[in-house]
Amino acid sequence: TANDIDLLLQQLIAGSIGVQQQLILQLSDLGDEGLHALMEFLLKRRETKATWIDGNAYQVLYKSNAPKAKEFLLSCFPEGIVPLKSECGIDYNCLQQLLAVQDFQAADRLTLQKMCELAGLTAIQRKWLYFTEVENFPITDLHTINHLWLVHSEGKFGFSVQREIWLGLSKNWENFWSKIGWKNGNNWTRYPNEFTWNLSAPKGHLPLSNQLRGVRVIASLFSHPAWN
Ligand code: UYC
């Protein structure tokens, strides 16, 4: 009933993260009224920085075929729940759309593409990055890309997640590759089929950074002032 759903909404607003995740799942199964509660939830949390709980609620609405949900997102969150700020006029809307439907493989490709755009024309043509280019990336853009990954992966994926793991392993690359599933024993995980393109992956598994040309690019990314 409407009262039951209202109770779920109150619990959703007040609950711990684990409870919230459960409740979003429940509400997603309760038809239009459940979706409506999720809309209210998102509106209520609008002024605070989006977390992966907001991401979950948003994804349910985004993936639902309910016309009311579509209308709501279009008018209240036309560019998603993460502010798509860029210091160089880069459009992150496609990336947010891929992540909203959790197409992590396509989002991973686009992330590299966007970072090449950040680096400039020569990097766009080259299709890979120099570490010196990464050093000069604007903090704003790295925050936007990272926040998008975090929010749409239940906090599992993103550069900041990878960096924390790397720091926790005293910056030991070999241990880091194993930990995030980029290496298994002595064997590199092969692109693309051996990677795990969903949330069953190890924490920090995505986004990828090709190690064919060495660790300097990812080292530069992890040392960027964006994460201070
Ligand atoms: N690949 O093995 N990778 C590619 C990864 C390595 C290789 C792309 C990640 C080891 C070649 C992405 C790992 C290695 C190509 C990644 C990994 C290797 C390629 C597509 C685990 C051999 C084709 C985007 C660390 C031993 C290159 C891109 C080409 C592609 C990612 C080989 C995202 C995380 C050392 C030969 N690998 N890569 O960058 O030019 O091309 O066509 O890291």
Give which of 128, 135, 215, 213 is closest to 171, Cα–Cα. 215
pLDDT one-digit tens code per residue, 167-224: 999 999 999 999 999 999 999 999 999 999 999 999 999 999 999 999 999 999 999 9
Q: Which residues contact 91 (CB under 8 A, 6 or more apart)?
A: 84
**Residue 54 CA: distances (Å) to CA of 24, 60, 150:** 10, 10, 11
141 CA to centre of ligand 1 in angstroms: 24
What 3-state class would DSSP assign to 2?
helix
User: Ligand 1 pocket: which of 116, 189, 197, 212 to mutate (most atoms <8 Å of CB)?
Assistant: 212
pTM above 0.95, yes or no: yes
CB-based pocket (< 6 A), ligand 1: 128, 177, 182, 188-189, 191, 208-212
Of 210, 213, 217, 218, the one to substitute when testing ligand 1's pocket (max ligand atoms within 8 A of C-beta) is 210
pLDDT exceeding 70 applies to what percent of the chain? 100
Write the Ramachandran bin of 180: left for phi over 0, alpha for psi from -120 to 50, otherwise beta. alpha
pLDDT tens for 101-130 read: 999 999 999 999 999 999 999 999 999 999
Helix axes 93-100, 139-151, angle to 10 degrees: 20
Predicted ipTM of the assembly? 0.97
